[in-house]
Amino acid sequence: MKIAFTTILPGEGFVRLSGHELYAPLEEAEVLVSTFDKPVTREMIQSAPKLKLVTNFGVGFNNIDLDACRERGIRVTNTPQPVIEPTAELAFALMHDVARRTAEFDRKLRAGQAEPFGVMNNLSHSLYGKTLGIIGMGRIGQALARRAIAAGMSIIYHNRRPLGDEAMRRLGVFGVNNNLDNISPQHSTAINCLPRLEDEINNTTRHHGVVRYVSKEELLKEADFVSLNLPYTPEVRHLIGAAELEMMKSSAYLINTARGAHVDEEALVEALKAGEIAGAAMDVYEHEPKIHPELLKLDNVVLSPHTGTGTWEGRIAMCEIVCDNILAFVNNEIDKMNIVL
């Protein structure tokens, strides 16, 4: 089988495909290994008459013209598993960074502009006891929730539907409790993250360690941190705009490690300058690779160059899954593939 690549990837990552011709011309390729940063256009697909499979190196697949693949009956796969933990790690790190002002203090120290040690100097905000609002409670959102629970945070989330019992158990939390204040039994499930007695939960911890499902509007109004962890579709473009930013607390932070188009960056810049929210931490941008110039000037913004999945461990695992998808396709083991289309 002849395999083409949109990006030259190291051959040693694909040793399991020995016996197949790697880096074949697109015109001769039966398989195309695409990467999340390169588009697979209708024109490319039309120029590959033998193409049977597009296997994407990444969880997202909005870089691929799915309609063109569908018309030709071309299979499309992705590599969702390796991105979960690294992206959740980065989201948590960015949240911690912007709240504790780590990057800001680093810049000021290097520039000789840091305040001296003092009782009321260099203050920041703790994560402990705060509420994290997660929009998009899929696998990445749940991985972030586990980390936040361990840090002593409460979780509210908005999703297409509430999590089931099994997903709640996977969060690593304990017990079910429906007696906490402000929890609607129709729309919320509350669970405490440590095996405490019910009266201790109600009287002492209050809402710390609670996970509950809420509307998007409730989430924006209540959360101390709002994290976006949902895939991109045209329907969620500018999910966070001027109206949503106005709903957030003035002490709240926005975290985006999902897709840049989720946020109206012009509205975000205005909200940050006006003090409508306390800060933002971003790994993705509306017009990548360009970053809004005003974001680069603000101390209360932490920026990362789209590195959510960028770990050695993650990349190696992606290579392995791409190989698995190709080999399963060759062996007609469709049930073993990560099928998108």
Catalytic residue numbers read: 259, 288, 306
**C-beta atoms surrounding 298 within 10 Å:** 16
Instruction: Give the separation between CA 219 and CA 28, rounded to whole angstroms.
Output: 51
In 251-311, alpha helices (H):
265-274
Helices (H), the chain: 42-46, 66-72, 84-100, 102-110, 139-150, 165-170, 198-200, 216-222, 242-247, 265-274, 312-330
Contacts of 284 (CB under 8 A, 6+ apart): 256, 257, 258, 259, 260, 262, 306, 308
> Sheet containing 2-5: which strands, arranged edge to edge?
21-22, 2-5, 31-35, 53-57, 75-77
CB neighbourhood size of 204 (10 A) = 10
